[in-house]
Amino acid sequence: MRELKLMKGNEAIAEAAIRCGTDGYFGYPITPQSEVMETLMAEQPWKTTGMVVLQAESEIASINMVYGGAGCGKKVMTSSSSPGISLMQEGLTYIAGAELPCVVVNVVRGGPGLGTIQPAQSDYFQAVKGGGHGDYKLITLAPASVQEMADFVELAFDLAFKYRNPAMILSDGVIGQMMEKVELKPQKPRMTEEEIIEKYGDWATTGKTRNRNRNIITSVELSSENMENFNHKLQAKYKKMQEEEVRYESINCDDAEYLLVAYGSSARICQKTVELARAQGIKVGLLRPITLFPFPEKPIHELAKQTKGILSVEMSAGQMVEDVKLSVNGITPVEHYGRFGGIIPSPAEVLEALKSNFLEG
Amino acid sequence: MTEEIIIAGFGGQGVLSMGKILAYSGVMQDLEVSWMPSYGPEMRGGTANVTVILSDDKISSPVLHEYDTAIILNQQSMDKFESHVKPGGILIYDGNGITHHPTRKDITIYRIDATEEAARMRSAKTFNMIVLGGYLKVNPVVKMENVIKGLKKSLPERHHHLIPMNEKAINRGMEIINKVE
């Protein structure tokens, strides 16, 4: 019997975190993602699975608690929204530099600064280009439904542990606040200390035993030669992600003459735009990146060959469009359409933008 | 079947919970559903609206520009959403506090004086269920048995004793809704 529930995206994140056996959540409330911790507090998983749920004194404290937990080989996560995620950037670059796995959820709101509490996608650059200092990348997943909010928690952990790299779920206020049907997976047990030592004992600080060397969690390396070598190692890891972890969905692309590229809530809006366009006889397809890093460069490049124009649609002033342009590499025109500051574009408005860019004049 | 609804009014009128009950009723009827609130810093007294979509098919955009049905519960929402009803669609409104009544000729307009009726029933909290009843009368997208199941799902157990009162309010709403000619 499938267990179908109606819940908000933020609630789905919390439920999925418990069920995939997360060891710890550390966070600080901020709209529009406060339901993540609210749900965790209401569910009280410390009584059932033993998962720690802790409201830290700030976002900076949260991410450093995650750093500590991750260093011990634990499955740990945090969530916040844009201004809070900015505060976490120092911690994130340290975690990436120390090669530790963790999951960070960003339910994006409009910026810059304290901005607005309404949805936006203007943290794309911050998520996929690093965010903090240094040459590092976050594995970045973009859920477009409440079901994916649930499913991507475990996926993000799997990828984070596979590559020993922080993973980000880049959502927004629409997906966080909306309710849809969700099927939750059955409860998985948390890993025992013995299992953690067996699986991650070669790097995690699980307590040194006589028969192994010390594990050191650090991001500091004062020898430039060693630091360059370490950077080569990181880059090789990111290259492997680009080769093996690209995920995307293509909708009505087979015969598409025009292509929309959109992720997250914009992709949902664009799906309706495709329906509206096709009803008018315009052959439009949608490519939805599911991983924003690694970005689906090859599939976009392939589709560019058959299309007369590509419209990148984001709730930002134009960030992902740069990656779309790099993927297309000039073989077909690429334009951007976006609303920002908390305004959500309507499907009809996207269709008008497509027409005015490629079909008129 | 796809029904795209906007419910709009003041915070505190039960706009979001009415949408939630409708969405849960849809789940009980095996429909695809989405519930998208306009969330804001305002609580009681501010404007609140929610988009609910019920469909046999997978739902694409949870955010819309045009609606099959608009349920309008204050003047600000009337000003904002009357023009966003699809031609041939339905507009339902509560007359309380409305100074500019809807004027469109290409949609079907219904009036339900739910504020007044809730006062008469001495239960302001049943207001949204009276409105829901009116809507289900003119557009029975979900069966009554599924609405009751939806109510049970969306209300915490400690409030389950209120279900008969809500059912009564839904039935009353079905009786008092009138088409505006």
Nearest residue to A268 via CA among A68, A119, A105 = A119
Sites in chain B below the pLDDT cut of 50 = none
Exposure of A51 in the CB half-sphere (CA atoms within 13 A) = 29
Distance, in Å, from the CA atom of A106 to the CA atom of A210, rounded to the nearest integer, reads 41
Per-residue three-class SS string for B67-132: EEEEEECCHHHHHHHHHHEEEEEEEEECCCCCCCCCCCCCCEEEECCHHHHHHHCCCHHHHHHHHH
* Domain A4-183 CATH assignment equals 3.20.20.140: no
The pLDDT value given to residue B46: 72
The pLDDT value given to residue A130: 80
Contact A349 B65 (CB under 8 A): yes
CATH domain A249-359 topology? Rossmann fold (3.40.50)
Give me the residue spans of the domains in chain B: 2-179
The pLDDT value given to residue A350: 97
How near does any CA of chain B get to the CA of A266, in Å? 8
Task: Give the contacts of A149 (CB within 8 A, at least 6 positions apart).
Answer: A9, A10, A12, A13, A16, A143, A169, A171, A175, A176, A182
CA B175 to each of CA A57, A341, B111, B140: distance values in angstroms, whole numbers, following the listed order: 54, 44, 12, 14
| CB-based contact B63:B35 (threshold 8 Å) | no
Contact A177 B64 (CB under 8 A): no
CA A182 to each of CA A94, A178, A357: distance values in angstroms, whole numbers, following the listed order: 35, 12, 37
CA A187 to each of CA A151, A184, B121: distance values in angstroms, whole numbers, following the listed order: 13, 9, 46
Q: Give the CATH H-level superfamily of domain B2-179.
A: Pyruvate-ferredoxin oxidoreductase, PFOR, domain III (3.40.920.10)
The pLDDT value given to residue A151: 98
Element counts in chain B: helices (H) and strands (E): 6, 7
Asked, colleague to colleague, whether A4-183 and A249-359 share their fold, the answer is yes
Distance, in Å, from the CA atom of B181 to the CA atom of B176, rounded to the nearest integer, reads 15
Give me the residue spans of the domains in chain A: 4-183, 249-359
Distance, in Å, from the CA atom of A69 to the CA atom of A87, rounded to the nearest integer, reads 19
Contact B62 A6 (CB under 8 A): no
Distance, in Å, from the CA atom of B23 to the CA atom of B31, rounded to the nearest integer, reads 9
Both tokens of A134, joined, read 């240094």
The pLDDT value given to residue A340: 93
Contact A271 B61 (CB under 8 A): yes
The pLDDT value given to residue A1: 52
Nearest residue to A292 via CA among A141, A169, A153 = A141
The pLDDT value given to residue A193: 94
The shortest CB-CB distance from A6 to any of B33, B61, B64 is to B33
Contact B63 A349 (CB under 8 A): no
Strand partners, B179: B110
- Scanning A262-321 for CB atoms below 8 A from B yields 265, 268-275
Q: What are the DSSP calls for A36-101, one per residue?
A: HHHHHHHH-GGGTT--EEEE-SSHHHHHHHHHHHHHTT--EEEEE-HHHHHHTHHHHHHHHHTT--
pLDDT digits (tens, 9 = 90+) for B65-81: 999 999 999 999 999 99
**Cβ contacts of B37 on chain A, cutoff 8 Å:** 177-178
Question: Does the beta carbon of B83 lie under 8 angstroms from any beta carbon of chain A?
Answer: no
The pLDDT value given to residue A94: 98
Nearest residue to A316 via CA among A357, A246, A264 = A264
Q: Which long-range contacts (CB under 8 A, 24 or more apart) does B94-101 make?
A: B94/B9, B94/B131, B98/B74, B99/B75, B100/B75, B101/B180
pLDDT along chain A (361 residues), means of 10: 85 98 98 97 98 98 98 98 98 98 98 94 96 97 98 98 98 96 96 95 91 92 96 98 98 98 98 97 98 98 97 98 98 97 94 96 66
**Beta-sheet strand order (sheet of B85-93):** A4-8, A179-183, B32-38, B47-55, B2-10, B67-72, B85-93, B108-111, B178-179
Q: Please say whether the dihedral angle defined by the alpha carbons of residues A299, A304, A309 and A315, taken in this order, is positive or negative.
A: positive
Task: Give the contacts of B10 (CB within 8 A, at least 6 positions apart).
Answer: B44, B45, B46, B47, B48, B73, B74
Strand, helix or coil for residue B9: strand
Question: Does the beta carbon of A33 lie under 8 angstroms from any beta carbon of chain B?
Answer: no
CA B171 to each of CA B109, B137, B151: distance values in angstroms, whole numbers, following the listed order: 20, 9, 14
Query: Taking CA A74 as the corner, what is the angle to CA A69 and CA A78, rounded to the nearest 5 degrees?
Result: 60
Nearest residue to B50 via CA among A81, A174, A181 = A174
CA A125 to mean position of chain CA atoms: 12
Distance, in Å, from the CA atom of B68 to the CA atom of B138, rounded to the nearest integer, reads 12
Question: Does the beta carbon of B36 lie under 8 angstroms from any beta carbon of chain A?
Answer: yes
The pLDDT value given to residue B45: 62
Interface with A, mutate which of B51, B61, B83 (most A CBs under 10 A): B61
